[in-house]
Amino acid sequence: MFIVSCTSTPEYVFKTQIAFKPQNNTLVYINGASKDVLTTKLKPIVEEYLVQNHLKVTDNLKKAKYVANYGVISEAYQTTTAVPVFGKTGINSINTYSNGFLNGNSFGTYGYGMYDGSYTANYFGNTQTTVNYDYGVTGYSQVIENHFMRIFALILKDVKTDSVVYEASIIGNTFSEDNEFLNYIKQIYLQNPIMMDALIQYDCYTEQSAVCQAVQ
């Protein structure tokens, strides 16, 4: 059994759906799903995104027409794959080759039509045997792959009707540090206006700063 980790350039899928377009300067209240450090750091990014799209953020829920709920889900999981193992499955044929030479000497005398003596013979050579095997699948090995998924979701709802006006998600397929993840979210959101339906895949990486490029 083998255990491997899937590592690659982090890929993120940005998906949005919109029911209708809110009016400019409409008041929005931001509500994080938890009070942890990552969620707290995400709030300014969410606020910047809403303001960029001509909405106005308020700290008074009673005055707001919409509430922007957001949060992060992180999940690590494993998958198991059966990988074939190849090897010898049997004997196809056996070939034996021999070569050599024979020499010798005889010693004796002839008398009255008869031979009296001896003969010495020597054989020099070698024999080589070659076995030809059949090859194929001899079994299977279980390979465990480690995966990591992180989802950032933003949902804009009407306060009075509780209906969803806009929802967006960013789904990452590989592990990234929290600060990298924050920067990737910011890069992706600031490239896209809020009032649109979209399904875009991004390759994200960090050099001197975070970079997210849409995959064509």
Average pLDDT over residues 34-49: 89
Flag whether 109 is in a domain.
no
Flag whether 26 is in a domain.
yes
Nearest to 204 by CA among 165, 176, 178: 176
Which 8-state DSSP code applies to residue 135? E
DSSP reduced 3-state for 189: helix
Flag whether 128 is in a domain.
no
Average pLDDT over residues 183-200: 82
pLDDT-derived band at 6, boundaries 50, 70, 90:
very low
Residue 203 belongs to what domain range?
Answer: 2-82+140-214
How many domains are contained in the chain? 1
Angle among Cα 92, 94, 97 to the nearest 5 degrees reads 150
CA–CA separation, 70 vs 152, rounded Å? 7
Q: What is the pLDDT of residues 99-127, one digit of tens each?
A: 666 555 555 555 555 555 565 656 666 77
- The predicted structure's pLDDT at residue 100: 60
C-alpha dihedral sign at 120, 125, 126, 127 = negative
Flag whether 185 is in a domain.
yes
Please give the radius of gyration of the chain, using alpha carbons only, rounded to the nearest integer. 39
**Tell me, what CATH number does 173's domain have?**
3.30.160
